[in-house]
Amino acid sequence: MNIQAWTLVIVGLTFALYIGIAIWTRARSTGEFYVAGTGVPPLANGMATAADWMSAASFLGMAGIISFAGYDGSVYLMGWTGGYVLLALLLAPYLRKFGKFTVPDFVGDRYYSQTARIVAVVCAIFVSFTYVAGQMRGVGVVFSRFLEVPVESGVLIGMGLVFFYAVLGGMKGITYTQVAQYCVLIFAFMVPAIFISILLTGNPIPQIGFGGELAGELGERIAAGERVTLLDKLDGLHEELGFAPYTDGRKGLLDIFCITLALMVGTAGLPHVIIRFYTVPRVRDARSSAGWALLFIAILYTTAPAVAAFARTNLLDATRDAVYDPARAAEGDSVVPEWFRTWENTGLIAWLDKNGDGRIQYTGGTAFTTADGKNKPVYLTPPTDPAGRGVHGERLLLLGDDGVMPVEEARNELFIDRDIMVLANPEIAGLPAWVIGLVAAGGLAAALSTAAGLLLVVSTAISHDLLKRAIRPGISERQELLAARISAAVAVVFAGYLGINPPDYVAAIVAFAFGLAASSFFPAIFLGIFSKRANREGVIAGMVCGLLFTTVYIIGFKFLGWSKESWLFGISPEGIGSIGMLVNFGVAIVVSAVTPPPPPEIQALVEEIRVPRGAGEAHEISA
Amino acid sequence: MDPDARSDVNDSPPAGPGADPEPGGAATTSRELYWRANLRWVVGLLVLWFLVSFGAGILFAPELNEHRLPGSGFKVGFWFAQQGSIFSFVLIVFVYVRVMNRLDRHFGVDEKRPRSGGSPGAEGEAE
């Protein structure tokens, strides 16, 4: 069986599994639809949270980003895991004790204010849609790369599937599907990682091989008889080829600090993550499921940087002065590996032979630029057309204003898409075709599970927070459930539209989502639990100031083109959420202090959520 | 963030230094003690959280990178940033889970077993 057949079979099997689970776990009440009837065991909730959290970007993109950013990529590793410590210690158990269904529920009730509730609803919807567009796109991209379906059809297939189990199953359906999706994605990530680790370091555990000496089949070839650790070799290669060192930072310390903090706090404030902790039976389960979630996430997040370093070392070694055309290679010359050509055909690699020597020069600097500033390759012809091939057999690029403009100062001749680091791993390691199918299924599992979780937040925000709690409190449970299903359906369609027509600046918007979550939700929830004195006036003022500050900064520097020199203390827009959070805290505390304290029943509520006893009954009063 | 965690102490009545705790009743005091113990652990664990990530992984990384993790090729700062901090996070959360379960029992605020052993759907009917 070839790669495509394997991919079809494996993806088809996993989809059948998800659909089966969805039918088996249909939601029958709003409680089941919103929070799975609070009956999810902590271990299962941990897995579901992990799958919910790890998106197509974590699965396909993160190792690639780290591979190219080296030490600076650590912000994502620490930021996206450290947030779970905040979540487990500061938010999850108390929110579970509070009961109810959503984040705006808590904000609205704790601050006895519809305004606060509406601000929270708007933030929740915005943050979730921001994210979901990227996921749907991810689904489309996986389909197009592995099954050669157009991106649009891929998005439609993904929409159909999410529609089916999110609308039918609600949180209950999503949770148990996510458990299955976690298993698929972690298996798909670990198998190639383990084999690559064996090939490069002779150690089957990537986390250990990462710090070990080059050994094994490929490793010995790269070391060329030397006894050298992988990371030293990698730093050496970087220096030799004119890249910044891999294990040292390039960004400013304060900037790294702020980005990490914004990602951590943003993670803890993301509604689709928080909502997962409402689904377990008890407060102690909320605590332990945060631990399980973090453990399951850590498996991937500690493997990813190892994979990044392996793939980078191998890439630099394999392309160093390699001859493109095997027929022209002299004795002792290295030739580009086969996967290089495969990925060139898919458009993820491009080579522009600037000096005409038929060898790859891969060094620091950009090989070419494009008019739109994305610097992605524009090829002369589709890969099947022999007319678009150069003298060595490489795909020629379209030169000029409509195509690419070579950067003459840089010796670099190579463009490499970051996604390749995970996608190409199975081939680099020479793994059988079914592993590639597995990676495709893993990428889909990651994208679908996250999309479903986000869509649920959107539908809940509309049917519960807006309709039931703000506009028409009188509607029956049955009507509310119907409204939830309809809004989930509308959200799926809208997300699909965003996936097919993605806004140009997805990455910028994701930074925005974290900034917003960090500067709005986190301080509001935190103060709601840890300070009895925090009141309506303070928290609304805090959220509005934090949001405004962060929004203006991000829009100014990301979209209006303000100059980098005027960055506040040299903090990039990605990290500004942490300052926005401080603004929010400061304003909320000061305003609360000079306005009347919250009413006694609210203070009693705060007392109540601080102790676990009685959590089982908490959410039944709410319906 | 730590000052905020502690700010709670100031929320309770504006008692002068060493003033007797105003809200009376044995139940309140026990809950208050529980909450204080909780805060102490949370602050302690968050200090650890800060040290392994922002400390070792970022602020002191340049200095720590002068050294190698024994028996491996990792520079210490780099290892904390890409591996060590994450392992520590997992550990911190599980320590917290254990400690809190013990505190819950010790102060008598732990939860009873849920009626149905947590099987899905059991509570949904109550809506």
Residues in B touching A256 (Cβ below 8 Å): 58
pLDDT at residue A220, as a whole number: 82
What integer pLDDT is reported at residue B113 of this predicted model? 54
* Of residues A36, A37, A74, nearest to B82 (C-beta): A74
- As given in the structure block, the two tokens for residue A356 are 């005409």
Q: Which residues contact B85 (CB under 8 A, 6 or more apart)?
A: A77, A78, A81, A82, B52, B53, B56, B57
Q: Which of A65-69, A127-131, B76-80 has the lowest mean pLDDT?
A: A127-131
In angstroms, the CA A152 to CA A82 distance is 36
For residue A519 the two structure tokens come to: 């500067």
| Distance between CA atoms of residues A104 and A352, nearest Å | 53
Q: Which residues of A46-61 are buried (b: 16+ CB within 10 A; e: fewer)?
A: bbbbbbbbbbbbbbbb
pLDDT higher than threshold 80 for residue B4? no
Residue with tokens 């102060």: B107
pLDDT above 70 covers a percentage of chain A that reads: 96
What chain A holds in terms of domains, given with CATH numbers, is 3-249+275-315+432-504 (1.20.1730.10), 321-361+368-406 (no CATH)
- Select the residue from A175, A526, A530, A583 to test the B interface by mutation, using most B Cβ atoms within 10 A: A530
CB contact at 8 A, A445 and A51:
yes
pLDDT in tens, A178-223: 898 999 999 989 999 998 899 888 889 999 988 888 888 888 888 8
The answer to which of A75-89, A101-115, A477-491, A503-517 has the lowest mean pLDDT is A503-517
> What is the DSSP track for A100-142?
SS-HHHHHHHHTT-HHHHHHHHHHHHHHHHHHHHHHHHHHHHH
Could you write out the three-class secondary structure of A172-237? Answer: HHHHHHHHHHHHHHHHHHHHHHHHHHHHHHCCCCHHHHCCCECCHHHHHHHHCCCCCEHHHHHHHH
* B118 lies within 8 A of chain A by CB: yes
Specify whether the CB–CB gap between A303 and A310 falls below 8 A: no
Give yes or no for A281 touching B (CB within 8 A): yes
- Residue B52 is classified by DSSP as I
Phi, psi of A335 (to 5 degrees): -115, 150
With a cut of 90, say whether residue A526 has pLDDT above it. yes
pLDDT level of residue A511 (50, 70, 90 thresholds):
low
Structure token digits, residue A399: 């030169």
Q: How large is the average pLDDT for residues A510-515? A: 76
* Rounded distance between C-alpha atoms, residue A184 and residue A192, angstroms: 13
* Cβ atoms of residues A548 and A584 within 8 Å: no
- Per-residue model confidence (pLDDT) at position B48: 95
Phi, psi (rounded to 5 degrees) for A266: -60, -45
**Mean pLDDT calculated for residue range A228-234:** 85
Distance CA A150, CA A148 (A): 6
B73: nearest CA partner in chain A? A211
Averaged over A441-464, what is the pLDDT?
84
- From B48's Cα to the closest Cα of chain A, the distance in A is 11
User: B104 — contact with chain A (CB < 8 Å)?
Assistant: yes
SS (H, E, C) A44-61: HHHHHHHHHHCCHHHHHH
**In chain B, positions 40-99, which contact chain A (CB-CB < 8 Å)?**
42, 45-46, 49, 53-54, 57-59, 61-62, 65, 69, 72-75, 78-79, 81-83, 85-87, 89-90, 92-94, 96-97
DSSP-assigned beta bridge partners for residue A404: A370, A399
Predicted pLDDT of residue A302: 93
pLDDT score of A120 more than 60: yes
Mean pLDDT of the B35-50 span: 93
CB environment A106-125: b (16+ within 10 A), e (fewer): bbbbbbebeebbbbbbbbbb
- Please report which helix (H) or strand (E) contains residue A618, including its range: helix A615-618
Helix count and strand count (H, E) for chain A: 28, 4
CB A446 within 8 A of CB A89: no
A582 is written with which tokens?
């401080």
**Residue A399's beta-bridge partner residues?**
A404
- Measured torsion, CA atoms of residues A609, A614, A619, A620, in degrees rounded to the nearest 10: -150
- Tell me which residue of A149, A138, A160, A186 sits closest to A439, measured CA to CA: A186
- The answer to whether the CB of A287 falls within 8 A of the CB of A88 is yes
Q: Do B123 and A31 touch (CB under 8 A)?
A: yes
- Tell me which chain A residues have a C-beta less than 8 angstroms from the C-beta of B54: 257, 260-261
* Extents of the domains making up chain B: 49-106
Q: How far apart are CA A300 and CA A291, in angstroms?
A: 15
Backbone angles phi, psi at A592, to 5 degrees: -60, -35
**Do A479 and A120 touch, CB atoms closer than 8 A?**
no
